[in-house]
Amino acid sequence: MAALKLLAISGSARNGSLNGRLLAAAVQAASLRGAQVETIDLRSLALPLYDGDLEKSAGVPEGARRLRDALHVADGVLLATPEYNGFPTPLLVNSFDWLSRLQAEGTAPAGLAVTAGKPVGIVSASPGLLGGLRSLNFTRQYLSMAIAMMPVPQQFALWKAHEAFDEAGALKDAKQQASLEAVVNALVKVATALKAAR
């Protein structure tokens, strides 16, 4: 069987993003388990804030098609997102909201057709003591209830994230690394089983 393909997504595109660093550690763990991981930069999709009038006049922006195509070829998704006031970020939600507006075009599937039943592992990082924990269930609910994805049960909130990484970008604490790997392991296991079942 061909290698498992994962798409890595961060809800923060900020330079030096803690979630970007956590995602990189998750990508490394997934790569060590034989997965081929592509990373997509949501900021590079240049998606404006969703606006129904804009959609009516100009259609769904090209960036949504790039996200659709990247998701289409992926067997699963690794997702890290900051918590903004208890919620996943506007960058993340806006990107998936635009994706959800994309209808099937010729042989290209609709946005929600490529997310339906796709497994996702969700993590978050914050300098705070809860590590973004409050947002994880909202992220999980949004991605499953509205976007039809299948979050694996394991999740990880990295607290005091600004102190958590060594200079090579690895998590210094072995327990935190094990928690991150538990999410990655579950994602790889579920995505591999679903790929084999197709």
Ligand X SMILES: Cc1cc2nc3c(=O)[nH]c(=O)nc-3n(C[C@H](O)[C@H](O)[C@H](O)COP(=O)(O)O)c2cc1C
What residue ranges bind ligand X (CB under 6 A)? 12, 14, 17-20, 82-86, 125-128, 130, 132
Look up tokens 């600004």; give the residue.
Answer: 162
* Min separation Cβ 121 and ligand X, Å: 17
Residue closer to ligand X by CB (options 23, 67) is 23
* Min separation Cβ 96 and ligand X, Å: 17
Residue closer to ligand X by CB (options 13, 110) is 13
* Min separation Cβ 95 and ligand X, Å: 15
In the DSSP assignment, the letter for residue 56 is: H
Task: Tell me how far apart the alpha carbons of residues 133 and 111 are, in angstroms, rounded to a whole number.
Answer: 28
Tokens of 128: 């705070």
Task: Tell me how far apart the alpha carbons of residues 95 and 86 are, in angstroms, rounded to a whole number.
Answer: 18
Residue closer to ligand X by CB (options 102, 156) is 156
- Per the CB < 8 A criterion, the answer to whether 112 and 65 are in contact is no
Using DSSP bridges, classify how beta strands 36-40 and 76-80 pair: parallel, antiparallel or unpaired.
unpaired
* Min separation Cβ 102 and ligand X, Å: 26
Q: Return the amino acid letter for 28.
A: Q
Task: Tell me how far apart the alpha carbons of residues 164 and 194 are, in angstroms, rounded to a whole number.
Answer: 33
* Min separation Cβ 138 and ligand X, Å: 11
Residue closer to ligand X by CB (options 152, 157) is 157
C-alpha neighbours within 13 Å on the C-beta side of residue 55 = 14
Residue closer to ligand X by CB (options 20, 109) is 20
- Rounded to an integer, what is the distance from CA 95 to the centroid of its chain? 11
